[in-house]
Amino acid sequence: MKKGLMLVVSGPAGSGKGTVNAMLLEREDFAFSVSATTRAPRPGEVDGVNYHYITREEFLSRIDSGDMLEYTEYCGNFYGTPLREAEEVMQSGKNLILEIEVEGARNVKAKYPDAVLVLLLPPSYSEQEARLRGRGTETEDKILLRLARAKEEVALADCYDYVVYNFDGKARDAADQILSIVEAEKLSIRRNPDVAKNYLNA
């Protein structure tokens, strides 16, 4: 059984990464890395499905015991990827989707150079602002904070391997493009170093 790929999908608030990732997760060969966070659940979010909701103390103690593959503080809350769960999923052959922000993505690439980093963007910054306000789940303060953060994130786009745009009503196209990226990565010579040996001895 070949180990699954580690696929980071980052996108600023309003990029539609939840929708696009849900489409990838319709497939049996993809699994979602359920992060731990200290932020409160939003309406409709479920503990253990969207996130593991834990206290700040618990989070800090899990960092200390080396349980986090990566973590960050984002808009006042901690977010992190549980290490053991991630390893188990990839060992089972599934591609693991890490829906994390840019600092986490950079840390992942430093630790796992084989990870594939995709930046998912709305068509433009003004479109992003419109989407965020239309969502109506956040206060104005939080929207402004997330927009400011989005500007910082896009400025760091050079640490990613690929950029995919999520146009209105075209989430399926964005998901298909990410699938193509994964397929191409799996066929890369870099990931198939023994081509000649395997070919000649088959």
**Based on CB atoms, which residue is closest to ligand 5GP, 37 or 177?**
37
- In the complex, the smallest distance separating the C-beta of residue 28 from ligand 5GP, rounded to whole angstroms, is 23
Print burial letters for 170-179: b (CB count within 10 Å at least 16), e (below 16).
ebeebbebbb
Between 1 and 58, name the residue whose CB sits nearer to ligand 5GP: 58
CA–CA dist 9, 99 (Å, integer): 5
Q: Which is nearer to ligand 5GP, 96 or 182 (CB)?
A: 96
Angle at 56 between CA 75 and CA 117, to 5 degrees: 50
Of 5, 7, 11, which is closest to residue 101 (Cα–Cα)?
A: 11
Give the residue nearest to ligand 5GP (CB): 104
Minimum Å distance from CB 196 to ligand 5GP?
39
Could you give the dihedral angle defined by the CA atoms of residues 101, 106, 112 and 117, in that order, rounded to the nearest 10 degrees? 60
Closest-CA residue to 78 (of 39, 33, 122): 39
Contact call for residues 77 and 51 (beta carbons, < 8 A): no
Q: What is the smallest separation between the CB atom of 51 and ligand 5GP, expressed in angstroms?
A: 7
Which residue number, 142 or 170, has a Cβ lying nearer to ligand 5GP? 142
Q: How near is the Cβ of 175 to ligand 5GP at its closest, in Å?
A: 16
Which residue stretches of the chain are H helix?
A: 17-24, 56-64, 83-91, 102-111, 125-135, 140-155, 171-186, 195-201
**Which residues contribute to the site for ligand 5GP (CB under 6 A)?**
13, 35, 39, 70-72, 74, 79-81, 99-101, 103-104
Minimum separation from the CB atom of position 185 to ligand 5GP (A): 21
Q: Kindly tell me which of 5 and 102 has the beta carbon lying closer to ligand 5GP.
A: 102
